[in-house]
A and B are shown apart, each in its own frame.
Chain A
Amino acid sequence: MNRSVLTRTAVIGVAMAALALAGCSSSSDPEPDPSGSAANPYASLTGTLDASGASFPNNYYQAAIEAFAEVAPDLEITYRSTGSGTGKREFGEGLTAFAGTDSTVKEGDGPQEGSYLYVPTVAASITISYNLSEVPDLQLSPSTLAKIFSRTITRWDAPEIAADNPDATLPAKDIVVVRRSDGSGTTNNFTKYLVAAGGSDWTLGSGDTVEWPADTQAGDRNTGVAQIIQQTDGAIGYVDFADATASGLTFAAIQNADGNYVVPTLEATTAALAGATLNDDLTYNPLNAPGADSYPITAPTYILVRPTYDDPEVGAAVKGFLTWLLSDPVSIEIAHDEGYATLPDSIRQKALAQIESVTVG
């Protein structure tokens, strides 16, 4: 029994090394392995992985897990979309093998300092979606955005909006602000952006929930917000890119740090990632990142893994899945299909090295 486990880890080790080589020089094919595992290094992974956390990347993770099941048929992965807070707590209590989170781990979240590593996976933009048939191409500066969401501006024909949109004819309508009713990493990132870019025009601070003015409309989750925007003439709200695209909403162009108005697209999100500075623990902040084409409200998401897995089966499975998630072309294509931007190569290599540094057994 013990021996077979050892052999298995050895095989995976070889497979990982082969994969790392393949990642460095993608042109040269890896050496054919006598055991045949180089063709599919994941086939030998077994067991079950339970994970929970952020709902923001959930669409991508679910599709990726489904696709990975074909590559590693003996491994069963479950990701429960519970929200980052619950994900971190369950990970800290040792209930899950890895956790998804949109926010960094803070004291009291659950996981102890040194008991986790960040693996950045994908990023997505948070769109400012609106429903105003008279204005097909709305442009907003961060300060105007902050004033709209703090209800300092309540009319669409306000002078601040007119200044951002010199060519548009703005209707004399009330603005209906739509926000999340539930605690959410999307709210957290959006309000962090307003704190960073809105300056003194934003006074509500940031958090999973903030003290919204009472005359704002609240929707449950991204789909709830999208639905209210669709239903209400004159509405504006923040919705993550995947759900906003699926609901067919219209996006406003937001002025980025370089002063250009940028509409959220995959390319603009990727540009924001390239402009962000990476911290030593592989966390990064793409909000309001520099770059002429960067979309400013871009939110990262991470997977938390343990630095050491005592159970070799679980450890190998986590490392295998995450390596595939970050580097396999199938996974990257799924991410793009679901509306998420994948990491630029510079960050991806460091993330793969982080996964490689996880010790097993």
Chain B
Amino acid sequence: MFRWLTLAAGLLVLAVLALILVFTVKEAWPAIQHEGVWGFLTGDRWVPNDPDGPGPARPMYGALAFIYGTVVTSLIAVIIAVPISVGIALFLTEFAPRRLRGPVITVIDLLAAVPSVVFGLWAILVLGPWLFDAYQATHGLLGAVPVLGSIFGPPQGPRAFMTAGIIVAIMIIPIITSITREVFATVPNADKQAALALGATRWEMIRGAVFPHSFGGVVGAVMLGLGRAMGETIAVSLTIGAATQITANLFGSGNTLPARIVQNWGDPGIPPGRSALVGLGVVLFLITIIVNYLARLVVSRAEIRMKGASA
């Protein structure tokens, strides 16, 4: 009896997931039909224009610029957030005096409770002008260097891929930190003591005993943060600048899938504008699935290798 109940619960999740996919694809179909699946995924122009007026001859819906923006901002966020989060977690589990631990954890968890619109507004009103100066200085410093010059290109304003990435990084730090901390706490004391007894320094102990044991968990935490980063809507919409472009310049404006959806949902333009927005949702959904699958692959591969090495 209990077995069937749990089976039903398990299947329910799959069914909900399948239903979401089926219905969103159905809703998005007019737009996908309009562009073709390949055209929708690889088009880099988004012109939900009135076909009565002059200008581009027909509405165009291409998701590529938004896919690019989603990937870029999430990567910036993860690259910034992971070292900081792992550092905080290590500090809390291995180094922090017991008295400090409680307050620090509380403050970090509080960070997770701040609504994303507050982060977005703070980024634009307070951080924005300051970041713009920093971007200009960075561009002045690195603008002439070959590859870095195009990555840190001329800033157009405080709203940029970089700004969105930084804000999302701050938002995912609490998530990654708290899970990583729990994972680090599960490392058996015997392993750590053994490493220290063999004459390892603290850093060698962490590298040899803590990291291999908790690698899977940390990757899981990063994936959770990445999922949050890819789906973050309001804060990104406020900070990224809503430009439909694919550029290496991280100081340029761009847009992401969820931000485009929220910006245009109220006035989606002429049909199939609304379907096209749902289509962006489907694309986001698929990207999330792919990323999670890849993460699983990484974890299983790495666990075999690391456990093998440490055994």
Contacts and interface: CB of A to CB of B under 8 A. Distances in A.
Interface of A: 55, 82-86, 89, 106-109, 176, 181-185, 188, 191-192, 195, 203-212, 214-218, 220, 224, 227-228, 231-232
A220 B125 CA distance: 13
B97 interface: no
Contacts of B253: 214-215, 217-218
A90 to B, nearest CB: 11
B244 A211 contact: yes
Report the interface size class on chain B.
35 or more
Contacts of B274: 85, 89
B45 interface: yes
Contacts of A218: 159, 241-243, 253
B53 A207 contact: yes
Interface string B235-266: 00110011111010000110000000011111
A173 to B, nearest CB: 15
Interface string B52-67: 0111100000000000
Contacts of A207: 47-50, 53, 269-270
B263 A176 contact: no
Contact of A181 (B53, B237, B270): B237
Contacts of A109: 270-271
Most buried by B among A86, A184, A214, A227: A214
Contacts of B267: 83-86, 182-185, 188, 208-209
Contacts of B54: 195, 203, 205
Nearest to A213: B243
22 contacts: A83-B266, A85-B267, A181-B241, A181-B263, A183-B263, A183-B269, A195-B54, A203-B54, A203-B55, A204-B55, A205-B56, A209-B264, A210-B47, A210-B55, A211-B49, A211-B56, A215-B243, A217-B159, A217-B253, A220-B237, A224-B238, A227-B124
Given A214-B247, A218-B253, A195 B55 contact: yes
A264 B274 CA distance: 34
Contact of A216 (B53, B55, B243, B273): B243
Nearest to A87: B266
Interface in B269-284: 269-274
Contact of A206 (B55, B124, B237): B55
Contacts of B49: 205-207, 210-211
B129 interface: yes
A217 B56 contact: no
Given A192-B53, A195-B55, A215 B266 contact: no
B46 A211 contact: yes
